[in-house]
Structure 1
Amino acid sequence: MIDPKDAAGQGESKTQIIGRRTFLRLAVSGAAVLAAPLLCGQGQAWGAKRQTPLPDAMAAPSGPNCSDGDPASYTAATAQRGGMFLLFSDVHFDPFADPAKVSALAAAPASAWRGILSDSTAAYSPYGQDSNDALFQSFLDDMARRAPRPDFLLYPGDLLCHDFWTTYPRLTGDATPEGLLTFIAKTAEYFLAEVTRRFPDAPLYLALGNNDSFEGDYRIAPKSPYLSATAPLVARLALKDQASRAPFLDSYPHDGCYAVPLPGPGGGRLVVFNNIFWTKRSGREAAGRRVLEFLDHELGQVKRRGEKVWLMSHVPPGDNSKASAAKYVKKGKDVFDPMLTEAWNDAQAGLIVKYAATIKASFAGHVHRDEFRLMRPRNGNLPVAAMRLGPSISPVTGNNPGYQVFSYDRESLELLDMTTHYLNIGAASPAWATEYQYSQTYGRGLRSATDWQEMYQGLVACPARGQAFAQGFDLRSAHINEVNGRTFRIFWDALSLSVDSL
């Protein structure tokens, strides 16, 4: 068995692909030119004072470098091979948003919740709060209007709102574990029913988020009541065939992990693993080892069969860029701080690099931002794996809500392109709109390692693309300005990881 301690890093130099000094050396040499609008911009990071440009940024940029890649990187070989799926994450659905309705919800079956909640006159959730029903219904309606027939939907976790476990007894007066579990199950059933009502023929695949728990935030245990309560709901409402339901029901109730066949001619599999056990706040070392064994076994089986695989979990490897940037603004210190424990962080990234030839795509959520991670073997010139991090629907951390529409090759299972749609909830009349299309904004697609690397380098070489990343990071929220002249290099550096293959 893989021991995550064997993969433990020794600090920032262990995990980050390009350190700060290397970044500056490349900038001064002209190989990486920071986007001029970012260097000159003033702005506020989340909870921070107004920032000045980076004091150590190069003073004389050599000019933009906005070259495009091959259109084949975002174009399917034939129309029949071109597929489409939806990714949305971190809804954090809040059934307590209207306290006056909570007693009625607690007394009613989940099938009656839509009627109870539909007569609410509440506006969309404001910044700093989780998703109320108005926001929930709005984004589902917009997805169904823009992409009514996806091949499937991916959801990288966090179905429940924050503080669910304390809010329920406070608003209902019911402090029993049975009452809490029943209300959790009804919340999950309502969530699943409303998603599948819009997309009755498309399977919905879900990962566990840190809030998806009976025990508390980050506290889910093996064989959790949450898993036993939600397993039949997911199997009945979200999964569309017995080939998926049987393996799901066999493994999900124990650790929240499962592997199912992806629909279509590609012959691929989706492996969903619960890496909440790997977070710093979990403290469940034994359960984490079981998940690592599951992931390594599934990837090994897929490789031996010559199949292709996609991965999905909640927490991505790498730096917690928001936290690192906030610390840098406050204290002037740039410290690598992964969201997983360092040993588990390196174990997850190491497995992805080890099986990179088999893994065609990876997805995560948790960060509530439009980000990505590139992973390469140490001393490698090109990344061998890329992970897309979905933005959140919940605006609890100041971002605008957003979801993504992906195109992909049904046979090779390679990603091609992506469009992000967002809702500016700070506007006088909020309306869903297209935030950006990846190929149009970055001049290339999602198919090849060369395109991944050129997009990454283009963020610092091409002012327009660096500005687009900064703007899209929080989906054009005017409430915050996290990626600015002072913090840009923190966020940019966090996008790429250099790891040892396990």
Structure 2
Amino acid sequence: MSICFVSNFCFLFLFLYVVASDTRRFWQVTDFHHDPNYTTVGDPGNVDNRRMCHRTADYRSNSSAGRFGNYLCDAPWSLVEAAVEGMKEIEPNPDFILWTGDDPPHVPVPTLSSPKVLDIIRNITGLIRRHFPDTRVFPVLGNHDYYPKGQMPPDNQNDPIYEAIANMWVGDQWIGSSETESFDTFRRGGFYESTYEPPNGGQTLRMVGLNTVYYYHQDLLTKDVEDPAGQLEWLTSVFGDAQEKGQKVYLFGHVPPGMFERKRNTNWFYLDFNVVLTQFIIDSSDVIAGQFFAHQHSDSFKLFYGVNDDGKGSGVIGVPAGVMYLAPSVTPWKTTLNGVSANNPSIRLYEYDATTGAVVNIQQYYMNLTEANVDGTAKWELEYSATAAYGLHNVNSSSIGSLVESFLTNQSLFNMYYEYNSVSYADEPCDDDCKTTQICSIMCPLYDQYASCLNDPQNARQLCSLRVTQSGPSDFPVYADVLIGVGAGLIICVFVFVLLWKEGRQRRKMIFRVDSKEPLLSPTDPD
């Protein structure tokens, strides 16, 4: 056996192992916020024009509303339709679609009603069903997907809105048939779980859709409820079952925990719920393969740092236990929060390794709203590919953690992120306070840790770590089979190389001795 043969064998082994990782794709689309009363007639800045969205914030141009929307307005149907059509054109055969909520517009409560909210959700549901009739769709509720908005009852077996939406989303391709437990939990509390098997085999995924509106501080019905609808108890049970069966979990919802990176000292959750869910995510890092949330209309992340405990009360601080991906919205609407910009419409495509469930890349698409209105054509462009734009091998928690820490010293890289944060809209630079708010919001999901980070962002990783109470945080479980396989292959290759090298060395000695007519055994060798 020659060294050349072994080299080729080892190369072939590594090549086949890499090829064996089955990279597939899925969509996340969120925050349509469709305004049925949108019109191109009038001035969107005029608060007296009641047929349009009403915003008093200054707009950077005086142009009237266009065909595909306006930065002061929620989405017209033409934009909603263009988003789903764009998904179909870019990737017509995704493995599945995550639809993460908020479909009605940002309008005063009296201008809506339960029937109007349900009609909007029904219309978008029909649009997605028509364009992706054979695709698995996993939807969740946002705070606007209820009437009155955000006031979701913590436990109501016969809630008419939950019931109506469950019947819209019924079916094996969606939340499940009417006989399934997932359909029942959705009717009871707006949450569910399902199982997804990749087409060519691979890692079984438990798709867990949460109703995090229960934890949103605008839901006055859950303020003093310990576990609304029993969702946390249910969640613990689902994760325990997934772990026993060797399954990985995709956790998705609308409202994320933690702080809002575009507005200092702005959070979404009640304090206790923020602590509980954050701790749960860190404790469950060996089961979670991906986290997908929305609500903020911005493009960002949330990192969860743990302490790798050695069992003696000490350990390595600041181990990335998980990363939450926050997808930007379809609506371009500029929030009423002072200092927060609008955004361009967006749709997001993920790449994941079906053999492990690990998310490996993000491809973010966007529509330049100004150009679309001028041209009269919806054009979806690739804004960025995360691995290429940021120079990453993948987008796991370790990679994103290193990326965010580099923002502290690499201003050009942070500027790139900040541009993407508003889907290439940002019209004002981000000063030092803005940058600190961004970094601390990403790295510190707990409110007290965030406050400490604002005063010392250089030590955010240490300040924002949370001790694991159940199992150690690590990216290792998701990539274990890859690491073990490649590692074993390399060890075998090195071992064979060493043996062949020794054999070749011995042969060269023998050849040299024959050529020089020396005896094969030296005088000191034994007989």
For the criterion TM > 0.5, the same-fold answer is yes
Alignment pair present for 1:202 and 2:128: no
Cα distance in 2 for residues equivalent to 1:78 and 1:435: 27
CA shift digits 1:267-308 (9 cap, x unpaired): 120111111111112131335372221222211221222221
Which amino acid letter does the alignment assign opposite residue 364 of structure 1?
F
Cα distance, 1:188 vs structure 2: 1.6
Which amino acid letter does the alignment assign opposite residue 434 of structure 2?
T
Alignment pair present for 1:493 and 2:440: yes
Match of 1:65 in 2: none
Paired residue for 2:413, among 456, 465, 490? 465
Q: 2:99·2:137 contact (CA, 8 Å) conserved in 1?
A: yes
- Structure 1 pair 210/362, CA: closer, same or farther in 2 (3 Å)? same
Structure with max Cα Rg: 2
Query: Equivalences for 1:294-373 in 2 at 5 Å?
Result: 294-324=234-264, 335=265, 337-373=266-302
Match of 2:493 in 1: none
- Structure 1 pair 152/159, CA: closer, same or farther in 2 (3 Å)? same
Cα distance in 2 for residues equivalent to 1:403 and 1:276: 22
Match of 2:212 in 1: 275
Cα distance in 2 for residues equivalent to 1:99 and 1:254: 40
Cα distance, 1:342 vs structure 2: 1.5
Q: 1:86·1:405 contact (CA, 8 Å) conserved in 2?
A: yes
Cα distance in 1 for residues equivalent to 2:108 and 2:189: 21
Alignment pair present for 1:145 and 2:89: yes
Aligned residue pair count: 384
Q: Secondary structure at the match of 1:222?
A: coil
Q: 2:250·2:288 contact (CA, 8 Å) conserved in 1?
A: yes
Cα distance, 1:338 vs structure 2: 2.6
RMSD, matched Cα: 2.6
Query: Equivalences for 1:210-289 in 2 at 5 Å?
Result: 210-223=143-156, 224-236=159-171, 239=174, 242=177, 246-264=180-198, 265=201, 266-283=203-220, 284=222, 285-286=224-225, 288=228
- Structure 1 pair 245/193, CA: closer, same or farther in 2 (3 Å)? farther
CA shift digits 1:107-156 (9 cap, x unpaired): xxxxxxxxxxxxxx961110121111011111112111111110000112
Q: 1:192·1:238 contact (CA, 8 Å) conserved in 2?
A: no
Cα distance in 2 for residues equivalent to 1:385 and 1:484: 28
Match of 1:433 in 2: 381
Cα distance in 2 for residues equivalent to 1:260 and 1:83: 19
Cα distance in 1 for residues equivalent to 2:28 and 2:414: 24
Cα distance in 1 for residues equivalent to 2:384 and 2:434: 22
- Structure 1 pair 346/364, CA: closer, same or farther in 2 (3 Å)? same
Cα distance in 1 for residues equivalent to 2:96 and 2:174: 10
- Structure 1 pair 278/483, CA: closer, same or farther in 2 (3 Å)? same
Query: Equivalences for 1:402-481 in 2 at 5 Å?
Result: 402-427=346-371, 428-429=374-375, 431-446=379-394, 448-478=396-426, 480-481=427-428
TM-score under structure 2 length normalisation:
0.68
Cα distance, 1:485 vs structure 2: 4.6
Match of 2:232 in 1: 292
Match of 2:332 in 1: 395
Q: 1:76·1:82 contact (CA, 8 Å) conserved in 2?
A: no
Q: Percent same amino acid among aligned pairs?
A: 21
TM-score under structure 1 length normalisation:
0.71
Cα distance in 1 for residues equivalent to 2:179 and 2:429: 42
Q: 2:175·2:194 contact (CA, 8 Å) conserved in 1?
A: no
Cα distance, 1:219 vs structure 2: 4.3
Q: Secondary structure at the match of 2:370?
A: coil
Cα distance in 1 for residues equivalent to 2:172 and 2:273: 32
Which amino acid letter does the alignment assign opposite residue 390 of structure 2?
Y
Cα distance in 2 for residues equivalent to 1:461 and 1:444: 17
Paired residue for 1:192, among 125, 140, 145? 125
Q: Which has the higher contact order (CA 8 A, sep 6+)?
A: 1
Query: Equivalences for 1:111-122 in 2 at 5 Å?
Result: none
Q: 1:247·1:260 contact (CA, 8 Å) conserved in 2?
A: no
Which amino acid letter does the alignment assign opposite residue 139 of structure 2?
L
User: Runs of 5+ in structure 2 lacking a partner?
Assistant: 1-15, 42-64, 308-315, 335-341, 445-464, 470-527
Q: Which moved further from structure 2: 444-453 or 261-270? A: 444-453
Cα distance in 2 for residues equivalent to 1:483 and 1:245: 52
Q: 1:311·1:363 contact (CA, 8 Å) conserved in 2?
A: yes
Q: 2:290·2:358 contact (CA, 8 Å) conserved in 1?
A: yes
Cα distance in 1 for residues equivalent to 2:255 and 2:22: 30
Cα distance in 1 for residues equivalent to 2:367 and 2:171: 31
